[in-house]
Amino acid sequence: MSEEFELDTDDLTRRMDGAMGNLRTEFASLRTGRASASMLEPVMVDAYGSMTPINQVGTVNVPEPRMVTINVWDKGLVGKVEKAIRESGLGINPQLNGTIIMLPIPELNEERRRELGKVAAQYAEHARVAIRNVRRDGMDQIKKAKADGMSEDDQKLWEQEVQELTDRYIKKVDEALETKQAEIMQV
């Protein structure tokens, strides 16, 4: 018989919190018709041979409520930054002015609101997948302990605890998605 098995539920919780934090960051990037520097956080630029966050290749400013500007530090990266924004799915058409890229934030129409709702749903699904992956890791640890001599009752208790933790976080993701979609559809 092996020593008493103790699943590190704090680690699982921390990792699931990380998935929720990532979801909040992605949701923050979905702006509902107002300019915000955080809307560019998930946008990565192919700079110097690696994918780099936009705020590490230029200064991001919000000079007015419906405008974001990026002052790109390296003139050679202006095209790549513009391309990254166009391909990001934000639905913003960048305008170039030398090394400054201006992003006018359009008024959201009904179609664009629906698109943003779908993007929010995709972000939520990524978070659910991340949470399920953490669950699978926990279940694998339990199976390994079972192979090392853990009793079936203990196995069932640990599996139940991991499943309850997973269900709690999936519910948080669903609630966050519902809130964000309501915010997006608000006129």
Q: What is the DSSP string of 14-33?
A: HHHHHHHHHHHHHHHHS-SS
End-to-end CA distance of the chain: 63
Per-residue pLDDT of 1-50, as tens digits, reads 345 678 888 999 999 999 999 998 888 777 666 677 777 887 889 888 89
Residues 6+ apart with CB under 8 A from 58: 70, 71, 72, 73, 77, 81, 99, 101
Mean pLDDT for the chain?
87
**Number of Cβ atoms within 10 Å of the Cβ of 142:** 21
Checking if the pLDDT of 157 tops 80, the result is: yes
At 186, is the pLDDT very low, low, confident or very high (cuts 50, 70, 90)?
confident
70/138 Cα distance (integer angstroms): 43
Per-residue pLDDT of 75-129, as tens digits, reads 989 999 998 888 887 778 898 888 899 988 877 788 878 888 888 999 999 999 9
177/46 Cα distance (integer angstroms): 30
Per-residue pLDDT of 40-77, as tens digits, reads 887 889 888 899 888 899 999 988 878 899 999 989 89
Region 168-184 average pLDDT: 92
Domains delineated in the chain: 9-26+109-185 (1.10.132.20), 34-104 (3.30.1360.40)
Helices (H), 5-77: 9-29
Are 19 and 3 in contact, with CB atoms under 8 Å apart?
A: no
The confidence score (pLDDT) of residue 140 equals 94
140/12 Cα distance (integer angstroms): 12
pTM for this entry: 0.67
